[in-house]
Amino acid sequence: MSKLILTRHGQSVWNAENRFTGWVDVDLSEVGKTEAKHSGELLKKLDIQIDICYTSCLKRAIETLTIILNSINPSLKFNTAWELNERHYGSLTGLNKEETKNKIGEEQFKKYRRSWDIAPPPIKLDSDYLSNFSPLNSSIPRDKIPLSESLKDTYERVVPYYNSEISKNLKNKKNVLISAHGNSLRALCKYLFKVSDTKINELEIPTGNPLIIEFDKDLEIQKYSYLNEARAKEIIFNQ
């Protein structure tokens, strides 16, 4: 059987400030670095060979993966892909979540944050945050760069990338590690666990807690579990 390990990056400095981050390229907080180190320690105890790694073009995911690899295999190279970037939060980028909820109301806030196909208004083209995007994103075709995204939009870049680049390694019995983001991993889990459009809003991905998924030769899921049971979230499967 092949194994896919999904890890959401550790807490970022904007996570700690409760801000919408999206594509802004912020660092891990000290808590996030500790979470990433703990993820590496959990994977080291698991004692499986990681054959190939993927991450996004955002440094909080790259740094998380680098810290993990320092624990399990410092010489292992990894692949960066903009398709694994966090969801783009449009005009919400940089805003405090609690203040935004109070301003626009809880119902609209939930629609922007957790609905399947509702995107926030687009980010303004003169926004200072546009200059804070990762330089690695310069490789993205201009017509692919979003100004806002729903989870559905995120799904429509994450899943094709998984199917074209990642799943072939799993079919070849390779063990794959992905370090990415809350929403890019939610999108991938929606696909892998066959989560409906209405139930996906209930799926939470904890920071710094690897989720290991075991597949058979036909890439049907056989087992799945978080490595840190104390910080696990419910997995929604086939609902």
Over the stretch 43-69, which tens digit does the pLDDT of each residue have? Answer: 999 888 999 999 999 999 999 999 999
Beta strand 2-8 pairing with 211-215: antiparallel
Start-to-end CA span in the chain (Å)? 25
> So what's the pLDDT on residue 215?
94
229 is catalytic: no
164-174 pLDDT, tens digit each:
999 999 999 99
Structure confidence by residue, pLDDT tens digits, 8-29: 998 899 999 999 999 999 999 9
Query: The pTM is what?
Result: 0.93
- CATH code of the domain made up of 2-231: 3.40.50.1240
Decide if 9 is catalytic.
yes
35, 86, 88, 181: the catalytic one is 86
Domain map (residue ranges) of the chain: 2-231
Segment 110-114 long-range contacts (CB within 8 Å, at least 24 positions apart): 110/201, 114/201
> What whole-number distance in Å separates Cα of residue 155 and Cα of residue 117?
10
Residue 1, SS3 per DSSP: coil
Which one-letter DSSP state was computed for residue 10? P
Tokens of 29: 């907080």
Give the angle 20-158-180 at the CA atoms, nearest 5°: 55
